[in-house]
């Protein structure tokens, strides 16, 4: 496994592997099985795998969140090495944000101002800036993103559509604990009790999609249930994809099951023990 810190070093990847496709998985480190499942997806297809580890200051709207973000580079590199990753890119802030480059513009529609966009102003602007630069440096054929960050996937799909139509963007289903809890770097900040309680998110999401005819009442009921378990719920909503328009039970009733598939999601964000968690189910 080769570790690069300079963008120019990445040029050797294509030069050394002219016949193979390059798969890219951008991360901010603090790696867990969810990230490794993205790597596995790339490797199953025989791609050269490139992982980046860069904590992007531009996507944190809250300085204390940035400071608290776990930094586990040595451990991350050991995990990636054991997993058989080919290249890791660990750039500095100066490498990613030289003072001379201008911001890229991506039309995100309302994605930037609703749900995660509304809760974390400027977040997707920061994500788009860093991912644009990373794609530009790595020049991947295929990129893998976890569906746990569904809205981020939708944002990246717009970035790809508008600036990198040659890239194949793959969404990988959320990796879950046995309890159903979505794997996340933030889970390590929960207590043992908190981890058990947090599994209720998945149960609620599943309960919502089990009976779509009564979705409005079900959303209200599950929201109340999560609140009574100690969650500070920011949203629990049913949305259409790709722009996350909120939909009601009536709108869903008017569509056949076949035409619905993959076009909707139930999305959640909320805090437990002061830790902000997100999750979703696409249906
Ligand atoms: O999902 C993440 O870890 C980050 O948002 C990403 C895509 C690596 C951009 O910094």
Nearest 10 degrees: CA dihedral of 73, 69, 159, 8? -30
Is residue 35 part of the annotated active site? The answer reads yes
Query: What totals of helices (H) and strands (E) does the chain contain, helices first?
Result: 13, 10
User: What local confidence, expressed as pLDDT, does residue 277 receive?
Assistant: 97
241 band by pLDDT with thresholds 50, 70 and 90: very high
Decide: 184 in ligand 1 pocket, CB within 6 A. Answer: no
Closest-CA residue, ligand 1 atom 5, reads 127
Domains by residue range for the chain, with CATH: 2-172 (3.40.50.620), 185-282 (3.30.1300.10)
Decide: 129 in ligand 1 pocket, CB within 6 A. Answer: no
Residue bearing the bigger pLDDT, 99 or 260: 99
Closest-CA residue, ligand 1 atom 8, reads 27
| 250 has a pLDDT exceeding 90 | no
Q: What is the mean pLDDT of residues 67-84?
A: 96
Q: Give dist(CA 282, CA 271) in Å, integer.
A: 21
Find out whether 202 and 181 touch, Cβ atoms under 8 Å.
Answer: yes
pLDDT digits (tens, 9 = 90+) for 94-153: 999 998 888 999 999 999 999 999 999 999 999 999 999 999 999 999 999 999 999 999
Contacts of 138 (CB under 8 A, 6+ apart): 10, 13, 22, 24, 50, 52, 89
Contacts of 165 (CB under 8 A, 6+ apart): none
Q: Which two tokens stand for residue 239?
A: 């949305």
Q: Which two tokens stand for residue 255?
A: 């569509």
Ligand 1 atom nearest the C-alpha of 56 is 10
252 band by pLDDT with thresholds 50, 70 and 90: confident
Decide: 29 in ligand 1 pocket, CB within 6 A. Answer: no
DSSP reduced 3-state for 122: coil
* DSSP line for 230-242: T-EEEEEEEEETT
Percent over 70 (pLDDT), the chain:
99
pLDDT digits (tens, 9 = 90+) for 193-217: 999 999 999 999 999 998 888 899 9
Decide: 138 in ligand 1 pocket, CB within 6 A. Answer: no
DSSP reduced 3-state for 142: strand
The answer to whether the Cα torsion of 32, 38, 42, 48 is positive or negative is negative
Closest-CA residue, ligand 1 atom 3, reads 27
User: What local confidence, expressed as pLDDT, does residue 65 receive?
Assistant: 86
DSSP reduced 3-state for 136: helix
User: What local confidence, expressed as pLDDT, does residue 261 receive?
Assistant: 85
Catalytic residue (choose from 35, 123, 125, 136): 35
């Amino acid at each position: 496994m080769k570790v690069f810190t300079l963008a120019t070093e990445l040029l050797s990847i294509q030069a050394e592997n002219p016949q193979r496709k390059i798969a890219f998985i951008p991360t901010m480190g603090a790696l867990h099985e969810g990230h490794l499942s993205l790597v596995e997806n790339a490797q199953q297809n025989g791609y050269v795998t490139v992982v980046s580890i860069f904590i992007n200051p531009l996507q944190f709207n809250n300085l204390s969140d940035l400071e608290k973000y776990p930094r586990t580079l040595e451990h991350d590199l050991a995990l990636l090495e054991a997993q058989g990753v080919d290249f890791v890119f660990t750039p500095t802030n100066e490498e990613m944000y030289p003072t001379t480059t201008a911001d890229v513009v991506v039309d995100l529609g309302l994605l930037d101002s609703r749900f995660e966009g509304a809760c974390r102003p400027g977040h997707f602007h920061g994500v788009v800036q860093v991912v644009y630069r990373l794609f530009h440096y790595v020049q991947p054929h295929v990129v893998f993103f976890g569906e746990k960050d569904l809205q981020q996937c939708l944002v990246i799909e717009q970035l790809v559509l508008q600036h990198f139509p040659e890239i194949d963007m793959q969404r990988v289903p959320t990796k879950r604990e046995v309890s159903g809890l979505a794997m996340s770097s933030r889970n390590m900040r929960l207590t043992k009790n908190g981890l058990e309680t947090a599994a209720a998110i998945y149960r609620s999401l599943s309960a919502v999609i089990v009976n779509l005819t009564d979705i409005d009442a079900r959303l209200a009921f599950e929201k109340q249930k999560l609140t009574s378990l100690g969650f500070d719920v920011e949203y629990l909503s049913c949305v259409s994809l790709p722009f996350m328009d909120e939909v009601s039970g009536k709108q869903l009733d008017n569509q056949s099951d076949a035409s619905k598939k993959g076009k909707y999601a139930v999305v959640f964000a909320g805090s437990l023990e002061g830790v902000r968690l997100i999750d979703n189910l696409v249906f």
